[in-house]
Amino acid sequence: MEIIRNDDGTLVVPTKHVRAHPTDGDAEHDAATDAPAVGQADALPGTRVLHPGEGGYDEALAEWDSQQNPDRAPVVSTASGRREAMHLVHEVATSEDHSVTLAMQGIDDLTASGEALRHVLVGGIHSVEDFSSEVAAAEGGEPMTAHETTKIIGVILAELD
């Protein structure tokens, strides 16, 4: 099964193990555990919904992106691509309507920017946190959370594809 990216940025990912719920006879049974986790009600059996910032989300987003174009060469980040990617993320984050289309108009090499963003995702959570700090240092302002940064990267990559 492929990873599915929803419009709200959540990802539906296949699971390897089915979560067992306690039975009525268990002494430590808690009725609250029977309710699916937030977003789980929409997931198919054998899947899980991951939200931006949640453990495993960055890796799943990188895998989703790879699924969109399986013939794509390995991700390579260039200095100019990374600079433009930082500017692109900053523009989307600080614009009033978070318009990716408007932010992309000021980018010379969208392919290099996309590759730089893919490279950030492949590096995992620490890579995303470091990238957020670099964006703040280069563009001004405070670093965004990994959750915010990952969500913006996902929106940009979806628009690029």
| Domain locations in the chain as residue ranges | 4-53, 79-160
The predicted pLDDT at position 22 comes to: 56
pLDDT at 20: 58
Kindly report the CA angle at 11 between 7 and 13, in degrees rounded to 5?
Answer: 145
Question: pLDDT in tens for each of the 161 residues of the chain?
Answer: 789 988 888 899 998 765 555 555 544 434 333 334 444 445 567 889 998 878 888 888 888 888 887 887 777 788 899 999 999 999 999 988 878 888 888 888 999 999 999 989 888 888 999 999 999 999 998 999 998 999 999 999 988 87
DSSP state of 9: S
HSE on the CB side for 72, CA within 13 Å? 18
The pTM score is 0.65
Confidence (pLDDT) at 160:
86
The helix, strand and coil proportions of the chain, stated in percent and rounded to the nearest 5, come to 50, 5, 40
pLDDT, residue 78, reads 85
Of the candidates 106, 121, 124, 132, the one whose C-alpha atom is nearest the C-alpha of residue 158 is 121
Question: d(Cα 49, Cα 43) in Å, to the nearest integer?
Answer: 6
